[in-house]
Structure 1
């Protein structure tokens, strides 16, 4: 199963927990969320606006835009590729009685590092 996520900013963090929950089978034991893109990632963390902003700031500090990357000669988005490598392309969450076994403050967050775009998210 899959769904799409649209972003309106170059770097955007979107809570996709509800979309994933709707696609979990009641007899599942685990759920894997995979982002099939090289400039986007997915993480599990708190969905709080200041923390989402902090994530964007941290990614920019760790991997600055326009820092003389060789890949920029081709696509001008090397920073997005490098940021997504730090985030990872998938997360696996246990399922208990048909529900994602996330902690109290945990959410599944899609992170676009090269938007605005429409991206696919695969749930298994």
Structure 2
């Protein structure tokens, strides 16, 4: 099962928790969320605006956009690839009674590092 997410800026974080919840089977034990893109990732964390800004700042600090990367000679987005390596391409979440068993402040966040784009999210 899959759905699409659109982003509006180069580094963009989108809360996809509700979209996943709508697609979780009631008899599932776990839900794996996979991002089939090499310049995007998915994480579980708090959807709080200042924290999301901090995430963007941290990614920019850890992997500057202009870092003299060799891959930039190919398509000028090496920073996006490197940032997505830090984030990971999937998360697996327990399911209880047909709902994601997330903690009080946890959300499933899609992080696009090379937007704006429309991306696919696959869930199983």
Mark yes or no: TM-score above 0.5: yes
Q: CA deviation at 1:77?
A: 0.1
| Aligned-residue RMSD, C-alpha | 0.3
Superposed structure 1 runs of 4+ greater than 2 Å apart: none
Q: Distance in 2 between matches of 1:87 and 1:46?
A: 15
Q: Extract unaligned runs of 5+ from structure 1.
A: none
Residue in structure 2 matched with residue 84 of structure 1 by the alignment: 84
TM-score by length of 2: 0.99
Residue in structure 1 matched with residue 98 of structure 2 by the alignment: 98
Q: CA deviation at 1:30?
A: 0.2
Q: 2:66 aligned with 1:66, yes or no?
A: yes
Q: Extract unaligned runs of 5+ from structure 2.
A: none
What is the total number of aligned residue pairs between the two structures?
124
Q: CA deviation at 1:66?
A: 1.1
Matches within 5 A, 1:38-77: 38-77=38-77
Q: Distance in 2 between matches of 1:67 and 1:85?
A: 16
Q: Distance in 2 between matches of 1:23 and 1:123?
A: 8
TM-score by length of 1: 0.99
Q: Distance in 2 between matches of 1:122 and 1:52?
A: 23
Deviations 1:2-50 (A, max 9, x none): 0000001000000000000011000000000000000000000000000
